[in-house]
Structure 1
């Protein structure tokens, strides 16, 4: 029965990793839509700094 556990454990870790990555992307996309719909220019400036800090220099 140990071989079954050793087979399923990495698959469960992979599933958890993929699921958490998908949730993070969805959260960032929702935040992006909120920023995009905001009329305040300061919010857009801060978003651009967060997304690409190299442009802020």
Structure 2
């Protein structure tokens, strides 16, 4: 029975790591609907700054 546990343990760790990565990836976008429905313009400006700071930058062509 020990061999089965030694086989499944790395798979379980991989599965848990994969799930936690997907949750982290959602990050700030969980709040998107709340921000979209907010009537204040400054909230929208702050949101756009936040989103731009988290977006991956494109490599520059030289």
* TM-score normalized by the length of structure 1: 0.62
Aligned to 1:42: 42
**Unmatched 5+ residue regions in structure 2?**
55-62
Q: Deviations over 1:5-44 (max 9, x none)?
A: 332122112221233234442x644311111111111111
Aligned to 1:33: 33
Ranges of 4+ aligned residues in structure 1 off by more than 6 Å: none
**Unmatched 5+ residue regions in structure 1?**
none
Work out the number of aligned pairs and report it: 53
Secondary structure of 2:47's partner? helix
Higher helix share: 1
- Report the aligned-residue RMSD: 2.4
